[in-house]
Amino acid sequence: MTNFKQIEENLKKEAKKLLEAGSVAVVLAYTKGADEKHPQPFAAKKADDVANIIFNEYCNHNLARYIVRYAPGTKIAVAVKAADSRAVVVLIQEEKIKRENLILLGIPVSGMKNQKTGEIIDEKTTGGLTNPVVYDVLLGEEIHTGKPVSPYTVLEQYEKMDKDARFAFWKAQFDKCIRCYACRKACPMCYCDPCFIDQTKPRWADKSPQSHGNLMYHLTRFQHLAGRCIDCGECTRACPVDIPLYLFHKKVAKDCEEMFKQAAGMKIEDKLVMVDFRVEDSDKILE
């Protein structure tokens, strides 16, 4: 079992060291919201702030989401779980940030929980990974126990549905959407400014929450995340009406992995599948 208290202590120690030495301007971590069961992403900027840092099984938020908010060149330390570290990798590959400006405080963790239901969500949120794929300091022991789980097992029941049933399933889900855009705002990979859905010249989809516009918004967003989504599950967790967006993202990720033999955000040296071309690449996408 992950020792959350130990990780919290180590996180505080490292954050304090970095802020006191002035080696970073900000440490991205967690603090308590209304209470500890409702944690909040936290930007510690002074050594004094460190006392407010916490880490527990509800600290799901992907902190990579906040990096691009700081001016280019800002030295930032980020607490990264497996999924957060993969998001950092994609941001580096996409040249949004530079590796040398980051200090990655790695958190190996299993047993993360959904704040609303208490359900363990490892497979949904970490793409089956427990250890960060890149880090400078590790705040706990790497976890190598337990069988590695496939992030795609949850798809089986949906892949069995025929086309019509699948369309009906997604149409019903998207009809629930209230277009609050929490999914895109929680996503570490959704940093476009402006996002296509906010553009007015041309307007790509209606703003009103109706089937056709909702479909346009979601299908376009899924496409924009192809080969980039690192399966952190934040979009789904943010959704106030429980639309299982992760299923669609996982399906696209699975197809990408099968076609291009590469999962998103695993190695900094990798090129993004959608900007790279290899002779052996699958042509299935064109069929």
Partner 1 sequence: MAASVLKKVVIEKINEVAAVLMQKGTLIAPVKEEAGANFREIKDPKDIYLDYYNSILSPKMVFFPQMEDFVKYQLAKPKADAKIVEMNLKPAFLFGVRPCDVKSFEILDKHFYASGIIDTYWKARRDNTTIIGYAFDLDKPVDSADFYNTLGIGAADPEGSDIFIVKKDKELLLKGITKKGEALLGELSMLEKADAKDEKYFTDYVKKGKEKKTRFMKVDDKAVAKKYEDIFENNEYWTKMSDACLSCGVCTFVCPTCYCFDICDETIFGKGTRRRIWDACMFTDFTLETSGHNPRTKVSQRLRQKVCHKYSFSVRKYDVISCVGCGRCTRSCPVNIDIYSMVEEATKL
| Interacting residue ranges for partner 1, rule: CB under 8 A | 33-35, 38-43, 61, 65-66, 69, 115, 176, 178-182, 184-186, 193-195, 198, 206-210, 212, 234, 237-242
Q: Which of 177, 197, 205, 273 binds ligand SF4 (CB under 6 A)?
A: 177
In this complex, which beta carbon is closest to ligand SF4, that of residue 12 or of residue 237? 237
Residue 123 CB: number of other CB atoms within 10 A? 19
Residue 279 CB: number of other CB atoms within 10 A? 4
> Which one of partner 1, ligand SF4, none is in contact with 38 (Cβ closer than 5 to 8 A by kind)?
partner 1
C-alpha to C-alpha distance for 176 and 262, rounded to whole angstroms: 33
Task: Give the strand order in the sheet containing 26-32.
Answer: 39-44, 26-32, 76-80, 102-106, 137-138
> Which one of ligand SF4, partner 1, none is in contact with 225 (Cβ closer than 5 to 8 A by kind)?
ligand SF4
> Which one of partner 1, ligand SF4, none is in contact with 61 (Cβ closer than 5 to 8 A by kind)?
partner 1
C-alpha to C-alpha distance for 198 and 50, rounded to whole angstroms: 37
> Which one of ligand SF4, partner 1, none is in contact with 230 (Cβ closer than 5 to 8 A by kind)?
ligand SF4
Which residue bears the tokens 């971590």?
A: 29
Q: Per-residue contact track with ligand SF4, 219 to 238, x per CB under 6 A?
A: ------x---xxxxxxx--x
CA angle, corner 186, sides to 271 and 201, nearest 5? 80
Question: Does 121 participate in binding ligand SF4 (rule CB under 6 A)?
Answer: no
Q: Which of 187, 197, 263, 273 binds ligand SF4 (CB under 6 A)?
A: 187
Q: Shortest approach of ligand SF4 to residue 16 CB, angstroms?
A: 27
Q: Shortest approach of partner 1 to residue 28 CB, angstroms?
A: 9
C-alpha to C-alpha distance for 268 and 67, rounded to whole angstroms: 17
Q: Per-residue contact track with ligand SF4, 48 to 87, x per CB under 6 A?
A: ----------------------------------------
In this complex, which beta carbon is closest to ligand SF4, that of residue 50 or of residue 121? 121
> Which one of ligand SF4, partner 1, none is in contact with 41 (Cβ closer than 5 to 8 A by kind)?
partner 1
Q: Shortest approach of ligand SF4 to residue 253 CB, angstroms?
A: 8
> Which one of partner 1, ligand SF4, none is in contact with 89 (Cβ closer than 5 to 8 A by kind)?
none
Q: Shortest approach of partner 1 to residue 121 CB, angstroms?
A: 14
Question: Does 172 participate in binding ligand SF4 (rule CB under 6 A)?
Answer: no
Applying CB under 6 A, which residues contact ligand SF4? Answer: 177-183, 186-189, 225, 229-235, 238-241, 243, 246, 249
